[in-house]
Amino acid sequence: MMNSASWTPLHAQLHRTLKVRQLLPLQQRLLVAVSGGQDSMSLIKLLLDLQPKWGWDLAIAHCDHRWRSDSGANADYIEQLAQSWQLSFYRQTAQQIPKTEADARHWRYQVLSEIALTHNYDYVVTGHTKSDRAETLLYNLIRGSGSDGLQALTWKRPIDIAANVNNTNHNIGLVRPMLEILRSQTGQFCQDQQLKIWEDSTNEDLSYARNRIRTELIPYLQTHFNPQTEQALAQTAELLQAEVDYLEQTTEQLYQQAVSTEPESSGLKINRLILRQAPLALQRRVMRRWLQQILPTSPSFEHIEKLTALISAPNRSQTDPFPGGAIAKVDHQWIERF
């Protein structure tokens, strides 16, 4: 058991968040993703200290992208820490060095889900913070994302199981328990706890946009507009998340009512009379849902708008071809894919 002197306000905050949001139930097997940076180092230390109260079985996973000459030493350091804490340690080294941040992320989640599946972990836990949430929201806002992108980093979602892994009966949750904690707090915590951290210089090389949001845009907004910018953005993300959840549930119900259940149409017809009653926000979402079924790529704003226009267009109206060559056509109350 930890002594009370090492119980800090951050321990209390995380403990409370876990309780209130019911993110990581008692006694579960948790695979904690540790990069060596201040956020995930704080995460593992905090979870380790809370472990006696929750009875989890903790382990560490580290993915070595081989981006830096000292990345092996970073992995060794985390391995030693795991040993000193008597935790299982899983290390995966990239065969090919990922070229972009997105490739690296994709590989990382694949590795994490494979380790979790193979070794029977119920949850993968990452160290994303409130600051990450604020940055992700801004990043997506600038790129023209709708509310789905602006909800920016959810607390909990099922992890995408890699396609090459067959055993999909096992559901693994991805949990981000530190979304109420700021990066400045994890920095301070590592200092106070004398946790050595590995600064991630790859950010500077590979993720210009994200890095500049962090080092230029947020400080600018803090200085000139609102010192609590990170709080404000993260709060917006939190509100949007609940709204998006609600809209998605309603969309699913409407979609199920509107899509044809005739066996020969196999979901390729949708009833526009039903959709006509619905507000535009739901029309767009149902159309996006339908397009996701019938297009090979993810639908763009323009695709969704073209299809939504058919809901009130004259009979026999049709769209231009979508990627993959399909078109959508109006046949009385139906919109059909050809």
Ligand X SMILES: Nc1ncnc2c1ncn2[C@@H]1O[C@H](COP(=O)(O)OP(=O)(O)OP(=O)(O)O)[C@@H](O)[C@H]1O
Binding residues: 35-40
Contact between 330 and ligand X per CB under 6 A: no
Task: Render the burial of 201-215: b for 16+ CB within 10 Å, e for the rest.
Answer: ebeeebbeebbebbe
What would the DSSP string read from start to end of 223-279?
HHT-TTHHHHHHHHHHHHHHHHHHHHHHHHHHHHHHB---GGGTT-EEEHHHHHTS-
Residues 245-274 as x/- pattern, contact with ligand X by CB under 6 A: ------------------------------
In the block, tokens 């948790």 appear at 30
291 binds ligand X (CB under 6 A): no
Share in percent of the chain as helix, strand, coil (round to 5): 55, 10, 35
Question: Which has the closest alpha carbon to 167: 108, 114, 123?
Answer: 114
In the complex, residue closest to ligand X by CB = 127
Contact residue for ligand X among 14, 18, 23, 34 (CB under 6 A): 34
Is residue 283 within the footprint of ligand X (CB under 6 A)? no
Q: Which is nearer to ligand X, 205 or 252 (CB)?
A: 205
Task: Note whether 273 and 253 are within 8 A (CB).
Answer: no
- Smallest gap from Cβ 327 to ligand X, in A, equals 35
Site pattern 67..106 for ligand X (x: CB under 6 A): --------------------------------------x-
Decide whether 40 or 251 has the Cβ nearer to ligand X. 40
Q: Which of 87, 83, 41, 42 is nearest to 60 (CA)?
A: 87
Q: Which two tokens stand for residue 211?
A: 């890095």
Binding to ligand X by CB under 6 A, coded x per residue (else -) over 101-140, reads: ----x--x-----------------xxx---x--------
Is residue 40 a contact residue for ligand X (CB under 6 A)? Answer: yes
CB of 12 to ligand X, least distance (A): 21
58, 63, 268, 335: which one binds ligand X (CB under 6 A) = 63
Q: Which is nearer to ligand X, 218 or 307 (CB)?
A: 218
Task: Annotate 277-298 with DSSP letters as a single string.
Answer: TS-HHHHHHHHHHHHHHH-SSP
Report the DSSP beta bridge partners of residue 175: 125, 156
- CA–CA distance, 98 with 104 (Å, rounded to integer): 5
Stretch near ligand X under the rule CB under 6 A, chosen from 11-19, 61-69, 236-244, 297-305: 61-69
Distance, in Å, from the CA atom of 229 to the CA atom of 218, rounded to the nearest integer, reads: 7
Closer to ligand X by CB, 15 or 105: give it.
105
Residues of this chain that bind ligand X (CB under 6 A):
33-35, 39-40, 61-63, 105, 108, 126-128, 132
